[in-house]
Chain A
Amino acid sequence: MSTTTATTYETVIGLEVHAQLATRSKMFCGCPTTFGAPPNSQTCPICQGMPGTLPVINRRAVEFAVRTALAFECRVNAGCRFARKHYYYPDMPKNFQISQYEEPLAEDGSLDIDLPDGSRRIRIQRLHLEEDVGKLVHEGDFADAQSSLVDYNRSGLPLMETVSHPDLRSAEEAAAYLRAFRAVLLFLGVCDGNMEEGSLRCDANVSLRPRGATTLGTKVEIKNLNSFRNVQRALEYEVVRQARALDAGERIVQETRLFDPDRGATRSMRSKEYAHDYRYFPEPDLVPLQLEAGWVAGIRAGLPELPRAQRQRFVSQYGLPAYDAGILTQSRALAQYYEGAARGHANPKAISNWVMSELLRELGGDDEAAIARSPISPAHLAQLVSLIDDGTISGKIAKDVFARMLGSGEDPATIVRREGLTQVADTGALQALVDQAIAANPKAVADFRSGKTVAAKALVGQVMKASGGKANPAMVDRLLQEKLSRS
């Protein structure tokens, strides 16, 4: 970002996040929601928009939306309504989308985000339910495709749209908001949070204004932000683009822009003059949705501990750095895994290290499915750390044991016993190896004695190598120091 941008303008960002709710069936029909099924195999007359068909509200989707709204401390409206939003596009079989407009499910909530310079409360304007559209597959490039095919598998999937107030002040804050948002959804179990598969999608409204100004500048909407990285890149690009335009005395055009991840740039999709008139009106095929207070109260009572509270607890209860706590609470499944291993353990920080550096790399994700796939149980990981801590195995051996645990799912003690990986802590056996190392490396010995204490490291390495990695490194070091200083 140019220095003028940072000093002259204030960035104002609001995010609209579309989350696909993890229900078994679609928003208004009974079709399954499995990702990646053969085209049009998960459709019925209703989600294909056939004549005469009618929508019926998925109760579970409403429950998920209420759960999320309560987690964001929104006011859940006692009554809400669905509305039809009209525009023509072949991926939308009825040529209108059933959404919510004037009477959304919930309003006025907030999400606290943690930033390097402290935490900030981002206000949430509204949260509502709607149905997803299908997907177009073009034969060839969009511009010159001879034909296009439509896959309605996604048509009618339940979406929850959450609109923030324009409270975000930088691309980094926007990315932090999105991360915190995703973590809440994963904790609530209402969305799988998979951005690559489109389960979580984000549009951003961005404007700049002179620092100190209280009115908002002309906003630009950016679509197609399908990863945390792209949200940040797109917004960084857009902020610079707008700042340059303003510096050059140009006016910002209210428009919708698309982010092109390959070029790392946004380009204009349509300007306000071509904006749709969606002709919203209340969906006459659905009666207004009345949410019974007792039902909502029951959902509130069942809310789990949310990521931010859990993060704070991890810091205080397990003595973890905020960074560790942040990563471990990205998903409820991961946090549960960590607690399963760390609860009652003497070295929760070491467990955190193993989870963050080894386990997450191997699992390739932190969502429920990835954690459920873990061959290593939390109890076994805790045992592994205990085996290191009590000197049974070295940290290096522990990595081998970890690899074997991944393969077989066995407990570490069994592996160590069977493979004979217990550290050699027998002074007699080690003494012999130390003597051999000293005898074989006169130069290192001389270097050490002439004051180059680092030379001892080479000797320790020799002993470790000779022991097949099983020697207790601390003991080797002690024996070497004794031997070298004595003679």
Chain B
Amino acid sequence: MEPHATIHELTAAFAKGTASPVAVTEGYLARIGALDDKVGAYLTVTRDQALATARASEARYRAGAPLSPLDGAPLAIKDVFCTAGVRTTCGSKILETFVPPYDATIVARLRKAGAVLLGKTNMDEFAMGSSTEHSAFKLTRNPWDLARVPGGSSGGSAAAVAGGLAAGGFGTDTGGSVRQPAAFCGVIGFKPTYGRVSRYGLIAFASSLDHVAPFALDILDTALLLGAVAGHDPLDATSVDATVPDYAAALGAGVKGLRVGVPDEYFGAGLDPEIDRAVRAAVDVLRDLGAKVEPVSLPTTSYGVATYYVVAPAEASSNLARYDGVKYGLRVAGKDLIDMVSRTRAAGFGPEVKRRIMLGTYALSAGYHDAYYGQAQKVRTLVRQDFEKAFARVDVLAAPTTPGVAFRHGEKADPLAMYMNDVYTIPASMTGLPAVSVPCGFSATGLPIGLQLIGRTLDESTLLRAAHAYEQATPWRERHPSLA
């Protein structure tokens, strides 16, 4: 098989007997062995487990009884998801030795679907970052240009899928951490509605913003991956108890009559003109396919980054309090308890994590809580109202995913410059609305550009349908980076 075969192509071949899950898994493992030194997508490769799963999958296909449309699909999982018996680091020194005794719900569901988990992928420490440069362990490179970042925080999974080191993958999107690397790496990144997929076993960064999100080479694969993990989970009180439609079945209906809104505020200063052109061209494609395009306004857009950088660090400062050297992970001895905790956290957390813990601790402290966290939650409500107003008129919003293309390693050393990278992805994170990044062209330098589509709450189907129509009408998915 081709290194960039889609999941549906692979599983169709498995079913026909023209390809074997074991051989395909071996092929991916061989490619990882040969190329991942260059890319740096994986932190842990679970070779033996992957082969054992592939053998079981192969037996099922031989018996004519695959478990699901994902049976035998080789996937890359961000190291933020707990995997029973497999080290889960969250990209941090503080969890370098942590081996969870349990699977995250999505991992359990993928296993149940027969998917082959190739390994755990690199990420910004605790998912805090937009370049994967904040990993405590290694640098991940963009397969399109190894001198550039793959985006982040789920850069490892994005690079793995783009580089043909996995057929699909999962990441988490808190402020854009799947859509932005998908845009940078030229693949699909789909953030479903908050609550659509269980967060159980996802190592929390910011609980009210963390979303489980798949990476794929095309929209049909995206629909299959999402369908396998979506749905209510009794272990996550914030997971939504709503029927999960057959996402794949909804594809192909086209966009005739679909109302597409183009928010003015997403095309302002700071947007790379090449991206501006590519996204507007993508909107034209949708119009040509029969969609009704109209401008809309989301006036609170400019408050997004500031609001996000109060809420996310506040929740993070709380979620990360548990890493104290007492129970698991790193422990640095000290002269007493407080000293041990201080030394452990000083040695275990990287500078970006420390920066956000300090920001968040400050935002929640007595006397400042109302001015920062309380105020941010109010702004969040306003942003939500903006979107509600827009969705009263349109079905889907179309916008750029990122203001620029993949940048060079070290290029955004200033934290604020890095934070501004999330300006277009943050609003859908704060509102929990489903959003997808679809490849929509390339820069003059050959770097991928992402079109972002945002949909109504729990209406992933419409979003997938629109993205699918666009994808099928354009040639972008046929181009892949060469790592040879």
Binding site for B on A (CB under 8 A): 45, 48-57, 84, 86, 88, 90, 93-96, 148, 150, 277, 279-281, 284-287
Contact of B3 with A by CB under 8 A:
no
Q: A86-B321, A96-B321, A281-B364 are in contact. Are A45 and B100 (CB under 8 A)?
A: yes
A residues near B322, Cβ cutoff 8 Å: 49, 51, 93-95
Inter-chain contact total with CB atoms closer than 8 Å: 101
A residues near B204, Cβ cutoff 8 Å: 51-52, 285
Name the residue on A nearest B234 (C-beta).
A56
B residues near A51, Cβ cutoff 8 Å: 82, 88, 90, 95, 98, 100, 203-204, 322, 328
Interface centre among A53, A90, A94, A96 (most CB of B within 10 A): A53
Total count of chain B residues near the partner, CB < 8 A: 43
Which residue in B104, B327, B361 is a CB contact (below 8 Å) of A52? B104
Binds A, one of B60-68, B136-144, B235-243, B259-267: B235-243
A residues near B328, Cβ cutoff 8 Å: 50-51
Q: How far is the CA of A277 from the CA of B100 in the complex (A)?
A: 32
Binds A, one of B217-225, B286-294, B365-373, B387-395: B365-373
Name the residue on B nearest A95 (C-beta).
B321
Q: A49-B327, A51-B90, A281-B369 are in contact. Are A57 and B237 (CB under 8 A)?
A: yes
**Which of chain B's residues 164-193 have a Cβ closer than 8 Å to chain A?**
none
CB–CB A90/B238 < 8 A: no
**17 A–B contacts, CB within 8 A, in A order:** A45-B100, A49-B322, A51-B328, A54-B235, A56-B234, A56-B237, A84-B318, A88-B321, A88-B324, A90-B324, A93-B326, A95-B324, A277-B365, A281-B373, A285-B204, A285-B238, A287-B238
CB distance from A29 to the nearest CB of B (A): 9
Binds A, one of B194-202, B411-419, B422-430: B194-202
B residues near A285, Cβ cutoff 8 Å: 204, 207, 236-238
Q: How far is the CA of A48 from the CA of B315 in the complex (A)?
A: 19
CB distance from B476 to the nearest CB of A (A): 35
Q: How far is the CA of A466 from the CA of B352 in the complex (A)?
A: 95
Q: How far is the CA of A284 from the CA of B319 in the complex (A)?
A: 10
Name the residue on B nearest A277 (C-beta).
B366
Contact of B208 with A by CB under 8 A:
yes
**Which of chain B's residues 377-414 have a Cβ closer than 8 Å to chain A?**
none
Q: How far is the CA of A49 from the CA of B104 in the complex (A)?
A: 15
Name the residue on A nearest B102 (C-beta).
A45
CB–CB A88/B365 < 8 A: no
CB distance from B100 to the nearest CB of A (A): 7
Contact of B420 with A by CB under 8 A:
no
B residues near A49, Cβ cutoff 8 Å: 322, 327
Contact of B101 with A by CB under 8 A:
yes
Contact of B484 with A by CB under 8 A:
no
As a 0/1 sequence over residues 80 to 118 of chain B, the CB contacts with chain A under 8 angstroms (1 = contact) are: 011000001010000100101110100000000000000
Name the residue on B nearest A152 (C-beta).
B327
CB distance from A99 to the nearest CB of B (A): 13
Q: How far is the CA of A183 from the CA of B168 in the complex (A)?
A: 61
Contact of B75 with A by CB under 8 A:
no
CB–CB A279/B324 < 8 A: no
Starting from the known contacts A95-B322, A150-B326, 8 additional A-B residue pairs (CB-CB under 8 Å) come to A50-B101, A52-B199, A52-B204, A86-B318, A88-B341, A93-B327, A96-B318, A285-B207
Q: How far is the CA of A279 from the CA of B235 in the complex (A)?
A: 26
Contact of B269 with A by CB under 8 A:
no
CB–CB A52/B338 < 8 A: no
B residues near A281, Cβ cutoff 8 Å: 314-315, 318, 364, 369, 373
CB–CB B369/A52 < 8 A: no
CB–CB A284/B315 < 8 A: yes
CB–CB A54/B199 < 8 A: yes
B residues near A277, Cβ cutoff 8 Å: 365-366
Contact of B337 with A by CB under 8 A:
yes
Q: A54-B235, A57-B237, A286-B238 are in contact. Are A279 and B200 (CB under 8 A)?
A: no
CB–CB B202/A52 < 8 A: yes
Q: A50-B100, A84-B318 are in contact. Are A55 and B237 (CB under 8 A)?
A: yes
Q: How far is the CA of A56 from the CA of B199 in the complex (A)?
A: 13
Q: How far is the CA of A280 from the CA of B363 in the complex (A)?
A: 11
Q: How far is the CA of A408 from the CA of B337 in the complex (A)?
A: 56
Which residue in A53, A57, A84, A90 is a CB contact (below 8 Å) of B200? A53
Q: How far is the CA of A277 from the CA of B238 in the complex (A)?
A: 27
CB–CB A88/B237 < 8 A: no
Which 8 residue pairs are nearest across A and B when measured between Cβ atoms? Answer: A95-B321, A284-B207, A279-B364, A284-B208, A51-B203, A52-B201, A90-B326, A52-B82
B residues near A279, Cβ cutoff 8 Å: 317-318, 361, 364-366, 369
A residues near B238, Cβ cutoff 8 Å: 54, 284-287
Which residue in B206, B234, B237, B321 is a CB contact (below 8 Å) of A94? B321
Q: How far is the CA of A381 from the CA of B237 in the complex (A)?
A: 51
Q: How far is the CA of A54 from the CA of B202 in the complex (A)?
A: 9
Interface centre among A57, A88, A148, A284 (most CB of B within 10 A): A284
**Which of chain B's residues 462-482 have a Cβ closer than 8 Å to chain A?**
none
Q: How far is the CA of A124 from the CA of B181 in the complex (A)?
A: 54
CB distance from A138 to the nearest CB of B (A): 11
Q: How far is the CA of A55 from the CA of B236 in the complex (A)?
A: 7
CB distance from B94 to the nearest CB of A (A): 10
